[in-house]
Amino acid sequence: MKSEPIDRRIFLSGTARAGIGLCGLCMCSPLASFAGEDEGASEKIDLTERCFCGYKCPDECTFLQGTLQDDVELKKEAWKEWKIEERFGVEFDPEQAICHGCKTMDKPKGIVLARCTVRDCAIEKGKECCIDCDELVACDKDLWRRFPDFKKKVVEAQVRYRRQT
């Protein structure tokens, strides 16, 4: 059986979409956990490896891959997946649909980073990550209100982190 050669861009795009679909299924399942919990409770939490909010972004993130590949279709997918139009009232704009990671300071910020109050707060306070903030438990930023289960996991990580330091 002879197979046709696959265009590299189509292959990468297809596999990224499959990975994103799998991530979406996992995030909706009871097994979903905040990135970093797979480290195990005994392993040291490294705040430099986490976003300001405490999350560990996956390499297959739609925004990241769309940015790295300059793929407008992936960017549109991320825009819909993250509900950017509903959240911020902004129609799709490939120039704003970018992300190089929240701790990358020398690259342009996309709409998500530009409007992330958690990121702004951590930078203002000089924190590597919210896990190291004494005000985390009482914090009422938009991210925590929208994802209370995620906040709970970050607070749990904070407890583990403080035991380790």
Q: Where are the domains of the chain?
A: 33-57+101-164
Phi-psi region of 54 (alpha: psi -120 to 50; beta: other; left: phi over 0): left
Q: 157: closest CA among 20, 78, 53?
A: 53
CB 134 within 8 A of CB 162: no
Q: Is the pLDDT of residue 8 over 80?
A: no
Residue 40 confidence (pLDDT) above 90: no
- Entry pTM: 0.72
Q: Are 16 and 74 a contacting pair, CB within 8 Å?
A: yes
Q: For residue range 76-128, what is the model confidence (pLDDT) as tens digits?
A: 999 999 999 999 999 999 999 999 999 999 999 999 999 999 999 999 999 99
User: Mean pLDDT of all residues in the chain?
Assistant: 82
